[in-house]
A = this chain, B = another copy of it.
Amino acid sequence: MVQALGRNTPTVSTHFPWDKVDDVQGLKEKAAGLGVGFDAVNSNTFQDQPGQPLSYKYGSLTHADPAVRDQAVQHNIDCIEIGEALGAEALTVWIADGSNFAGQSDLTGALDRYLDSMARIYAALPRHWRVFIEHKLYEPAFYSTVVSDWGTSLLCAQTLGDKAQCLVDLGHHAPNVNIEQIVARLARFGKLGGFHFNDSKYGDDDLDAGSINPHQLFLVFNELVEAQRRDPEGFRPAYMLDQSHNVTDPIESLLNSAGAVAAAHARALVVDRDALTEHQRANDVIMGFNTLRRAYDTDVTPILAMARYELGGAIDPIAAYRASEWRVRKAQVRKPIAVGQAGIV
């Protein structure tokens, strides 16, 4: 539905076991019929699953007990297999491992166990696959997180090999950090694997992309356009939306987010790069800034609406979606969720 109206979200990134189905081949065919492909698959060792023999309460890929690590490694390998069947070409690994108390965990030992587990997963990657390492500053671990920042993510990706790259979730950084520069650094050293786009004001708030700080999103795309110019061949980061919704209709939020990402990209594309380079060379600070600002101030709403229209999408996706009454019709064929289940936590 999101792809039908917005025309700029051609692939889906599945989470296993959340999105597990029995008939993988059927899912692939159905998606192809809808014009949707599969991008990176995501493993999940951050929640215990019903029937799972060993708990991840004290860690998964970094657990002190090798049997738990084996279970977590095997889950990742299973994800790769399903992903292959779906036509995906990358695995995203995010682990919740860390500690809530100083002294709970051996900070260095935990990383060594992570690298050991990841090497086994890496060895199972098909020829053309990549593995994306996703870092996160905190939560659910509140004292230390094993892969907490891009520095650690980078060290791990370097240690594992060329197929390993870093994935940037915009909400997984410390306050005030310049994320667009992190993007530039990873791109410069060939380690930028992709993105989880979303937005946040406080922590990992998982709000719609660009809803809090659209200027930052523009500056991230400004670096992506720069990186593409430097290395038109090798640069191919994966873009994914990763957000969590409880006050909006998720379809509507995805439409909004996809629109915000497209707008940031469009604005970055209209930057006068020759003028920018010249101002930077001359240390003409105000004009360097104003060159970016002129692009950012451009209202790209009309051109994006026209692009959607020409590709067979909706000029106003949310209005079209509401007019379609898709949600109302779906609600009639799905079981309602009891009040109280989805409480605010």
A52 CB to nearest B CB, Å:
6
Scan A275-314; emit 1 where CB is below 8 A from any B CB, else 0.
0110111110111111111101111010000000000000
Scan A174-193; emit 1 where CB is below 8 A from any B CB, else 0.
11111011101101110000
Among A32-40, A125-133, A197-205, the one that faces the other chain is A197-205
Cβ-defined contact, B285 with A148, below 8 A: no
Cβ-defined contact, A139 with B203, below 8 A: yes
Verify if A46 is at the interface (C-beta below 8 Å from B): yes
Q: What class of interface size applies to chain A in its complex with B?
A: 35 or more
Cβ-defined contact, B344 with A46, below 8 A: yes
Cβ-defined contact, A247 with B285, below 8 A: yes
Cα distance A286–B52 when bound, in Å?
Answer: 26
A299 / chain B contacts, CB cutoff of 8 Å: 297-299
Cβ-defined contact, A108 with B208, below 8 A: no
Verify if A338 is at the interface (C-beta below 8 Å from B): yes
- Assess A289 versus B103: contact at CB under 8 Å? Given A48-B343, A137-B176, A151-B151: yes
Verify if A47 is at the interface (C-beta below 8 Å from B): yes
In A93-116, the 8 Å CB interface with B consists of 96, 99-109, 111-112
Cβ-defined contact, A248 with B46, below 8 A: no
Among A2-10, A53-61, A77-85, A233-241, the one that faces the other chain is A53-61
A227 / chain B contacts, CB cutoff of 8 Å: 108
A222 / chain B contacts, CB cutoff of 8 Å: 102
Cβ-defined contact, A286 with B252, below 8 A: yes
A108 CB to nearest B CB, Å:
5
Among A21-29, A209-217, A328-336, the one that faces the other chain is A209-217
In A321-345, the 8 Å CB interface with B consists of 338-340, 342-345
Residue of B nearest to A105 (CB): B280
Cβ-defined contact, A205 with B174, below 8 A: no
Cβ-defined contact, B283 with A200, below 8 A: no
A143 / chain B contacts, CB cutoff of 8 Å: 178, 201, 207, 211-212
A331 CB to nearest B CB, Å:
16
Verify if A30 is at the interface (C-beta below 8 Å from B): no
Cβ-defined contact, A104 with B142, below 8 A: no
Q: Which of B177, B213, B289 contacts A104 (CB 8 A)?
A: B289
Cβ-defined contact, B104 with A288, below 8 A: yes
A64 / chain B contacts, CB cutoff of 8 Å: 280-283
Verify if A223 is at the interface (C-beta below 8 Å from B): yes
Cβ-defined contact, B188 with A108, below 8 A: yes
Cβ-defined contact, A101 with B289, below 8 A: yes
What are 5 A-to-B residue pairs whose CB atoms are below 8 Å? Answer: A64-B280, A151-B185, A152-B185, A173-B174, A256-B289
Give the interface of A toward B (CB within 8 A). Answer: 46-52, 55-58, 64, 96, 99-109, 111-112, 137-140, 142-145, 148-152, 154-155, 173-178, 180-182, 184-185, 187-189, 200-203, 205-208, 211-215, 219, 222-223, 226-227, 230, 246-249, 252-253, 256, 263, 276-277, 279-283, 285-294, 296-299, 301, 318, 338-340, 342-345
